[in-house]
Amino acid sequence: MNFSDHTSIRQTLENVLEQSKSVAEKGEVASYIPELARREKDLLGVSVCLQDGTLLSAGDAHLPFTLQSISKIFSLMVALCEHGGDYVFRRVGKEPTGDPFNSIIKLETIKPHKPLNPMINAGAIAVAGMIPGATIEARLEKIMRLLRKMTGNADLRVNEKVYQSEKQTADRNRALAYFLKDSGILEGDVEETLDLYFRHCSIEVTTAEVARMAAVLAADGYDIRSGEQLFPREVARICKTFMVTCGMYNASGEFAIDVGIPAKSGVAGGIMAAVPQRMGIGVFGPALDDKGNSVAGVHLLQKLSQQWELSIF
């Protein structure tokens, strides 16, 4: 594949999109956050950001959606930059769970009671607790500042409706957070940390923005558009490794075999995929499979990976 031939890249994106659209029928839009349930099931968009910064898109790439669990990568980045790995990994583990993203079971049965990794909800709530700042706004701003730089969008914002909708229905996350407080993993005010977590999950993006974020990760933290190193190479390495081992939850093994790209999904239907030293990919398709991953999005990435030989393995 010649990646300077933009017409043929666009054509490939259109083709894989067409091949994947009908797969959405097999999935369901997330309903446990009521505001997400309002989305049409058969939307599908894809954007690719090449290492020279070229951005190419197909389908519903202009539609905004919330990051949800994709944001867990960026809260982890901020925590690692603020505290370093030793501090972070004393409070959250490095192992995949084999359980659903909101599972509570291993938190109690494994001792010490630290969440197994920062990609499951318990782990991401523990990470949110590590983000310092005098107010929730100041803590959120640390994540927003990083994302504004990565996307080049100075107006990036939280979708208030989705944030309120999640906040009102998040009793399982509340249970996880209070258990973490009781276990000494979470310090400070639990409701404030939950609020920060709900807000960073509700940051609104498009596939183009997700592709840009992924391209920075793919380039080990270097942003070609600004010429800046936005975070240390080591932080990029850790995040991409978690994307391989835990990014697609209890489907991460299957995804590694079928697609082979470090990736992170969210229940709004987004997937961020970073092909090391080659490109960033953003996909949006709100119909999810039973593990909470975009069903058409995974299909599209599989087709793209086959066509362009993107697997890292």
Taking CB under 6 A as the criterion, the residue among 20, 97, 265, 305 binding ligand DON is 265
User: Segment 7-66, which members bind ligand DON (CB under 6 A)?
Assistant: none
Judged by beta carbon, residue 77 or residue 176, the one nearer ligand DON is: 176
d(CA 207, CA 228): 22
What three-state secondary structure class fits 211? helix
Question: Nearest distance from residue 275's CB to ligand DON, in Å?
Answer: 21
d(CA 176, CA 306): 39
Rg of the chain (C-alpha set): 18
Catalytic residue among 16, 46, 267, 298: 267
* Residue 167 designated active-site: no
d(CA 146, CA 159): 18
What angle is formed at CA 200 by the lines to CA 236 and CA 256, rounded to 5 degrees?
A: 45
Q: What DSSP assignment string belongs to 271-291?
A: EEEEETTTEEEEEE--EE-TT
- Total binding residues for ligand DON by CB under 6 A? 12
Taking CB under 6 A as the criterion, the residue among 48, 267, 295, 304 binding ligand DON is 267
Q: Which stretch binds ligand DON (CB under 6 A): 10-18, 106-114, 135-143, 259-267?
A: 259-267
d(CA 218, CA 243): 12
Are 87 and 127 contacting, i.e. CB atoms less than 8 angstroms apart?
Answer: no
Decide: is 97 part of the binding site for ligand DON (CB under 6 A). no
Strand partners, 56: 48
Q: Which stretch binds ligand DON (CB under 6 A): 39-47, 88-96, 150-158, 264-272?
A: 264-272
User: Segment 148-177, which members bind ligand DON (CB under 6 A)?
Assistant: 166, 173
Taking CB under 6 A as the criterion, the residue among 79, 292, 295, 302 binding ligand DON is 292
Q: Catalytic residue positions?
A: 69, 72, 197, 249, 267
What residues make contact with ligand DON under the rule CB under 6 A? 68-69, 101-102, 121, 166, 173, 201, 265-267, 292
